[in-house]
Structure 1
Amino acid sequence: MILGSVLNPINSSIIAVALVPIGIAFGAPASQTTLLVSALYFATAIGQPLAGRLIDLFGPRGLYLAGAAFTTIAGAIGAFAPTLSLLIVARVVLGLGTCAGYPASMSLLRRETERTADFGGFRPTGMLTALSVANQTVAVVGPTLGGVLVDVGGWRSTFAINIPLGIACFVCGLLLLPREEKHRTTDAGERPAGSLRRLDLPGILLFAGLLVSLMLFLMNSEVASLWLLAVAAVAGAGFAFRERRAADPFTGRSDC
């Protein structure tokens, strides 16, 4: 769980020292190479709540394994990308893959606490502390690690490092994480818990539109970008309207 949860913070910080050599390699200005930073943040901002919802539907093990596979694929794409555009795609895939580890870990700890509640209970305090310390520590040492990787193997090694990390997460998850029950149902018993029909696609799209337009506006807060703020307002209103009326909303059921 620790290994899966630190993939996102390490990739958020490790890229900092690779931007200049990447720009030199592709002849790209700083305004383009910084998209490598934004791409991961955009993907994570949308992907993490989506991963949480998918974990509710399909369980933490499947999403953890999928995230590890995405991370490995993104590492391979970045290690051999011939263009900056493909490198940005690799960062998007990396953001989607690495954002599954932390919510999967939280779900596993919650389920273990509930499972053992009748006979003493599992206390997740130590594990939560370990996850928090690991995430904060990795974010701090990321630039140093990135500098070492760039010095030893070039900027592509900052992407290639995700290949062994992703494989290690996948193998550990496959061998150690508990399997899901095959026939789980919802509390109401009307649909299988893993049914894709329970996924609120309109709510997800409106949420993504809200976040992307708002983040793009904040990155370039000028009069010419005010239309992005208008898009964010419309998407936000649509998202609130949708979530209050959807039978199975993206944000989860509400008793209000």
Structure 2
Amino acid sequence: MTRAQPTALISLVILCSVGLLVSVAREQLSTGRTSGFTSFNGSLGMPTRSISETDFQGKVATGPSGLVRSEAVFEQSVFDSSGLALEVAIAPLPRPAQVTTSRPAPRPATPAEIVRGARIPPPPSSLQNASELSCIAVAIYHEARDQEELGQRAVASVILQRAAVPHRWGDSACENVVPTQFSFMTSRYDYPSIDNLGSWEQAVRIAAEAIMNGPMPELRGADHYHATAVFPQWAPKMVRIRSIDDHVFYMDPHSSSEL
């Protein structure tokens, strides 16, 4: 009977120690506070941690969805003979509710693609930084949209013919469609609005064909024209080529000598 008493006493001590450990762990998980406890050998145990207070690289988790800054230094919890440390994993942050993406603006169709039947681009808001196709199409629309296709092609031909003469009017189509050369321009880059989309699409197709084919051979280098309702002072100095609809086309002799 006397031999069984030490064994029972040791069992009782072990059960009390285990109960103390379990109660401390439950307190950590329920209150979120860190506390110490005494290990089996009587030494002060390692502090336990809960999900609401875990140091990692200078941050402390305040819950499943938030992080706050902390001055604490990263400490790695370990198991050793001096005590027990508990770590609870932090839930990952929720994914964004919506992911937005942006796409670049579609590239405008080239003259070759327009000729092959590509979609016609809308009218530009101005001719600032406009393409050669847009500059010629805007000129055709405002100068000859009420004429037959031949008359519209002739307007495009004059623009391209002027661009072919080096260092005189301009070395590109857009440099030739300026207020001093075409009266429909209201400022350096602006012009009246384009409201007839059917006429605009036809002007774009004709402009694309003109860029691909170059000036009309039948106009024989014509680089001037005027409406039949007027007779400008420069007309007698030019070589008259022909009339198309309500426009009369001329060739400047000085232009042919510079080509």
TM-score category (smaller protein)? under 0.3
Q: Which has the higher strand share?
A: 2
Between the two structures, name the one with larger relative contact order (CA 8 Å, sep ≥ 6): 1
Q: Which has the higher helix share?
A: 1
**TM-score w.r.t. length of structure 1:** 0.20
Greater gyration radius:
2
